[in-house]
Structure 1
Amino acid sequence: MFLEFFIWGAWFVTMGTYLTKTLSATGTQNAGAYATQALGAIIAPFIIGLIADKYFSAQKILGVLHLMGAALLWYETTVPSFDGFYPGILAYMVIYMPTLALVNSVSFKQMQNPSKEFPWIRVFGTLGWIVAGVIIGWLGWEQSGTLVLTFKMAAIASVALGLLSFTLPDTPPVKKGQKTSLGDIIGLDSIGLLKNKSYLVFFLASVAICIPLAFYYNFTNPFLNEVGVKRAAGIQTLGQVSEFAFMVAMPFFFVRLGVKKMLAMGMLAWALRYVFFAYGNAEHNYWMLIAGIVIHGVCYDFFFVTGQIYTDNLAGDRFKSAAQGFITLATYGVGMLIGFYLSGPIVDHWQTSATTHNWQTIWLIPGSIAAAVLLLFLIFFRDNNQLQTKPGLDIEEPSAQTEI
Structure 2
Amino acid sequence: MSIKFRLTVMSFLQFFVWGAWLITIGTYCFNAKGWTGAEFGAIFSTLGLSSLFMPAITGIIADKWINAEKLYGILHIFYGIILFFVPKVNDPNTLYYVIFGAMICYMPTISLSNSIAYNILKNNKYDVVKDFPPIRVWGTIGFIIAMWLTNIFSSETPPEFIKDFGLGIGKFIADVFGSPIFANQFYIAAFFAIILGVYSFTLPKCPPQKLIADDASLAEQLGLNAFKLFSNSKMAMFLLFSLFLGAALQLTNMYGDSYLDDFGKITEYKKTFVVEGRTFIMSISQISETLFILAIPFFLKRFGIKRVMLISMFAWVLRFGLFAYGNPTDGLWMIILSCIVYGMAFDFFNISGSLFVETTTDSKIRSSAQGLFMMMTNGVGAYLGSKISGIVIDEYFTHDGLKDWHNIWFSFAIYSLIIAVLFGLFFKHKHVPEDVAEIAH
Within-5 A mapping of 1:88-127: 88-112=98-122, 113-127=127-141
Partner deviation per Cα, 1:287-324 (whole Å, 9 max, x = no partner): 11111111111101211111001111112432221110
Inter-partner Cα distance in structure 2 for 1:71 and 1:301: 31
Residue 346 of structure 1 deviates from its aligned partner by 1.6
Residue 389 of structure 1 deviates from its aligned partner by 6.8
Indicate the RMSD between aligned Cα atoms, in angstroms: 2.0
In structure 2, list runs of 5 or more residues that go unmatched: 1-10, 159-179, 265-273
User: Does 2:251 correspond to 1:215?
Assistant: yes
Q: Which residue of 2 aligns with 1:402?
A: none
1:334 to 356, 380, 395: 380
Segment of structure 1 superposing worse, 148-157 or 105-114: 105-114
Residue 107 of structure 1 deviates from its aligned partner by 0.5
Residue 35 of structure 1 deviates from its aligned partner by 0.4
Q: Which residue of 2 aligns with 1:174?
A: 209
Q: Specify whether residues 308 and 170 from structure 1 end up closer, same or farther in structure 2 by C-alpha distance, changes over 3 A only.
A: same
Q: Which residue of 1 aligns with 2:170?
A: none
User: Does 2:153 correspond to 1:143?
Assistant: no
Q: Which residue of 2 aligns with 1:325?
A: 371
Within-5 A mapping of 1:191-230: 191-228=227-264, 229-230=274-275
Q: Which residue of 2 aligns with 1:386?
A: 432
Within-5 A mapping of 1:245-394: 245-349=291-395, 350-354=397-401, 356-388=402-434
Residue 179 of structure 1 deviates from its aligned partner by 4.1
Q: Which residue of 1 aligns with 2:93?
A: 83
Contact 1:190–1:323 (8 Å) recurs in 2: yes
Q: Which residue of 1 aligns with 2:225?
A: 189
Partner deviation per Cα, 1:192-213 (whole Å, 9 max, x = no partner): 4444433332221111111222
Inter-partner Cα distance in structure 2 for 1:122 and 1:74: 27
Q: Specify whether residues 389 and 313 from structure 1 end up closer, same or farther in structure 2 by C-alpha distance, changes over 3 A only.
A: closer
Residue 51 of structure 1 deviates from its aligned partner by 1.9
Inter-partner Cα distance in structure 1 for 2:413 and 2:107: 28
Q: Specify whether residues 212 and 123 from structure 1 end up closer, same or farther in structure 2 by C-alpha distance, changes over 3 A only.
A: same
Segment of structure 1 superposing worse, 211-220 or 90-99: 211-220
State the percentage of identical aligned residues: 32
Write the letter of the residue equivalent to 1:138: I
Q: Which residue of 2 aligns with 1:162?
A: 197
Q: Specify whether residues 333 and 181 from structure 1 end up closer, same or farther in structure 2 by C-alpha distance, changes over 3 A only.
A: farther
Inter-partner Cα distance in structure 2 for 1:322 and 1:109: 19
Residue 175 of structure 1 deviates from its aligned partner by 2.0
Inter-partner Cα distance in structure 1 for 2:218 and 2:321: 42
Residue 89 of structure 1 deviates from its aligned partner by 0.8
Contact 1:66–1:162 (8 Å) recurs in 2: yes
Q: Which residue of 2 aligns with 1:48?
A: 58
Contact 2:247–2:386 (8 Å) recurs in 1: yes
| SS across alignment from 2:351 | helix
What TM-score do the two structures reach when normalised by structure 1? 0.92
Q: Specify whether residues 186 and 235 from structure 1 end up closer, same or farther in structure 2 by C-alpha distance, changes over 3 A only.
A: farther
Write the letter of the residue equivalent to 1:162: G
In structure 1, list runs of 5 or more residues that go unmatched: 400-404
Residue 114 of structure 1 deviates from its aligned partner by 1.9
2:143 to 129, 136, 145: 129
Partner deviation per Cα, 1:166-200 (whole Å, 9 max, x = no partner): 10111111227724534334433333444443333
Inter-partner Cα distance in structure 1 for 2:237 and 2:219: 22
Partner deviation per Cα, 1:119-163 (whole Å, 9 max, x = no partner): 111111111101111212234616367220000000110111011
Residue 378 of structure 1 deviates from its aligned partner by 0.9
Inter-partner Cα distance in structure 1 for 2:218 and 2:318: 39
Q: Which residue of 2 aligns with 1:9?
A: 19
Residue 25 of structure 1 deviates from its aligned partner by 1.3
Inter-partner Cα distance in structure 1 for 2:146 and 2:69: 24
Contact 2:52–2:375 (8 Å) recurs in 1: yes
User: Does 2:73 correspond to 1:63?
Assistant: yes
| SS across alignment from 2:53 | helix
Contact 1:255–1:388 (8 Å) recurs in 2: no
Inter-partner Cα distance in structure 2 for 1:171 and 1:271: 42
| SS across alignment from 2:45 | helix
1:33 to 7, 25, 43: 43
Inter-partner Cα distance in structure 2 for 1:166 and 1:294: 37
Residue 43 of structure 1 deviates from its aligned partner by 2.1
Inter-partner Cα distance in structure 2 for 1:29 and 1:357: 15
Contact 2:153–2:184 (8 Å) recurs in 1: no
Contact 2:249–2:346 (8 Å) recurs in 1: no
Inter-partner Cα distance in structure 2 for 1:318 and 1:115: 21
Runs of 4+ that moved beyond 4 A: none
Contact 2:154–2:183 (8 Å) recurs in 1: no
Residue 255 of structure 1 deviates from its aligned partner by 1.4
Contact 1:186–1:326 (8 Å) recurs in 2: no
